[in-house]
């Protein structure tokens, strides 16, 4: 008798739960993606970047007080948007110990932190999309601040804006189906240390990470595009997954219409940019990865990389492209298939 009652009760509970979830389920084809994309504005990006890349941050060298101050600003912005750290974590920081960040004859670095914020998926919360950018730069030299507005203040503030766009969608009932980890990594300038630490010590099983969107220098133009800033270099999108490449192409065509330049995606690129930013630590573990980049300019790793030289219209469009590509990855039925070997 108890067994029969239990089965009936369980069935009723399952039935109620099922109808409730059906009632709450939204048709994502009706979501106004352009509306959320347009919450990413030049004014907001500029406001954030003038703080993140200010003299007060002293060039954000790994482990310094200036970098930690910039990190606190990021965390406060996430809190303002009611975006918390992952439930599995005990705070916004992933500690990266000094002894981990050594490479060849590089200087000894102090303890530092990756910073993470998290929006849990509504339907496939165990599947994780990582959106990454490094928030460190090279600090000060001979008393002069190397602000790093483009490298990588631009990617850093892009993450803030992408996160708030997803939260606006969530308020309207279109929270991402998959979970999104916004990952600000440390130690990139000294050897991709923060992303390597995360990929070696992931908060979630690495096989659950469906892709990495990495944003590193998207606020300026290079000499090869001196007549227009309506472009972005795309690196790595097709190295592991045809799906990822197609998703980015289709999202760009539908919403943004930047010229996608693939020259640095060439296997024989002498600059080897594919291996020089944080996406690579995900790609080498078999995770489909895409790297957005504006190319090198005259102020690369020089004190002239300041917020006043950023082209905020270009920064906005490139950030919007990252958002709409992330939107598709987070909400499509299937994760991108790994159908290539990365070579």
Task: Write the CB contacts of 82 (distance below 8 Å, at least 6 apart in sequence).
Answer: 167
Give one DSSP letter per residue of 162-181, joined into a string.
Answer: HHHHHHHHHHTT---SEEEE
Stronger pLDDT, 111 or 15, i.e. the higher one: 111
User: How would you classify the pairing of strands 144-145 and 140-141?
Assistant: antiparallel
**Separation of alpha carbons 154 and 322, rounded Å:** 13
Token digits of residue 253: 């065509």
Element (H, E) at 20: helix 2-24
Pick the closest to residue 328 from 269, 255, 272, 221 (CA basis): 255
Q: Quick check: 88 pLDDT over 70?
A: yes
Q: Which pLDDT value is given to residue 128?
A: 98
How far is Cα 3 from Cα 9, in angstroms, rounded to an integer?
10
Cα–Cα distance for residue pair 186/133, rounded to 1 Å: 9
Residue 5's Cα: distance from chain center in Å? Answer: 50
Share of the chain above pLDDT 90, in %: 88
Q: Round to whole Å and give the CA distance between 161 and 167.
A: 10
Q: Across the chain, what does the average pLDDT equal?
A: 93
How many angstroms separate the CA atoms of 78 and 42, rounded?
Answer: 18
CA distances from residue 3 to 6, 8, 9, 130, 300 in whole angstroms, order as listed? 5, 9, 10, 45, 71
Computed on alpha carbons and rounded to an integer, the radius of gyration of the chain in Å comes to 21
The answer to which of 27-31, 125-129, 219-223, 328-332 has the lowest mean pLDDT is: 27-31
pLDDT for the residue numbered 48: 99
Estimate the share of the chain in helix, then strand, then coil, as percent rounded to the nearest 5. Answer: 45, 15, 40
pTM attached to this predicted model: 0.92
Query: What confidence score (pLDDT) does residue 25 get?
Result: 75
> Which residue, 136, 130, 138, is CA-closest to 198?
130
Residue 192 has pLDDT above 80, yes or no: yes
Q: What is the mean pLDDT of residues 61-75?
A: 97
Residue partners of 192: CB distance under 8 A and separation at least 6:
276, 277, 278, 280, 281
What pLDDT score does 168 carry? 98
Model pLDDT, residue 85: 98
Closest CA to 163 of 194, 185, 131, 133: 131
**Model pLDDT, residue 342:** 87
User: pLDDT-derived band of residue 24, with 50, 70 and 90 as boundaries?
Assistant: low
Q: How far is CA 240 from the centre of its chain?
A: 18
Q: Which two tokens stand for residue 78?
A: 């996430």
Q: 3-state class of 221 per DSSP? A: coil
């Amino acid at each position: 008798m108890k067994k029969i009652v239990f089965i009936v009760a369980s069935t009723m509970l399952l039935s109620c739960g099922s109808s409730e979830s059906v009632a709450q389920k939204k048709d994502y084809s009706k979501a106004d993606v352009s509306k959320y994309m347009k919450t990413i504005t030049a004014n907001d990006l500029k406001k954030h970047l003038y703080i993140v890349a200010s003299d007060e941050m002293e060039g954000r060298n790994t482990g310094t007080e200036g970098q930690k101050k910039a990190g606190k600003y990021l965390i406060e912005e996430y809190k303002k948007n009611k975006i918390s750290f992952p439930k599995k974590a005990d705070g916004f920081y992933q500690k990266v110990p000094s002894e981990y960040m050594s490479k060849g004859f590089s200087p000894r670095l102090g303890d530092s932190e990756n910073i993470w914020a998290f929006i849990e998926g509504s339907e496939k919360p165990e599947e994780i999309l990582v959106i990454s950018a490094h928030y460190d730069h090279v600090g000060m030299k001979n008393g002069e601040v190397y602000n790093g507005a483009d490298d990588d203040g631009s990617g850093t503030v892009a993450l803030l804006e992408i996160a708030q766009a997803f939260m606006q969608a969530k308020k309207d009932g279109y929270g991402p189906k998959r979970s999104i980890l916004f990952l600000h990594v440390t130690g990139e300038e000294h050897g991709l240390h923060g992303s390597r630490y995360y990929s070696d010590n992931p908060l979630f099983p690495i096989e659950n990470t469906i892709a990495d969107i990495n944003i590193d220098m998207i606020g300026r133009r290079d000499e090869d595009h001196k007549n227009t800033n309506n472009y972005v270099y795309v690196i790595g999108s097709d190295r592991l997954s045809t799906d990822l490449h197609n998703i980015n192409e289709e999202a760009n065509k539908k919403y943004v219409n930047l010229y996608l330049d693939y020259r640095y995606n060439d296997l024989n690129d002498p600059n080897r940019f594919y291996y020089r930013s944080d996406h690579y630590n995900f790609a080498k573990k078999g995770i489909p990865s895409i790297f957005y980049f504006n190319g090198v300019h005259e102020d690369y790793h020089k004190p002239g990389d300041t917020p006043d030289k950023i082209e905020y219209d270009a920064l906005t469009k490139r950030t919007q492209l990252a958002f709409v590509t992330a939107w598709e990855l987070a909400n499509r039925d299937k994760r991108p298939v790994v159908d290539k070997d990365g070579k």
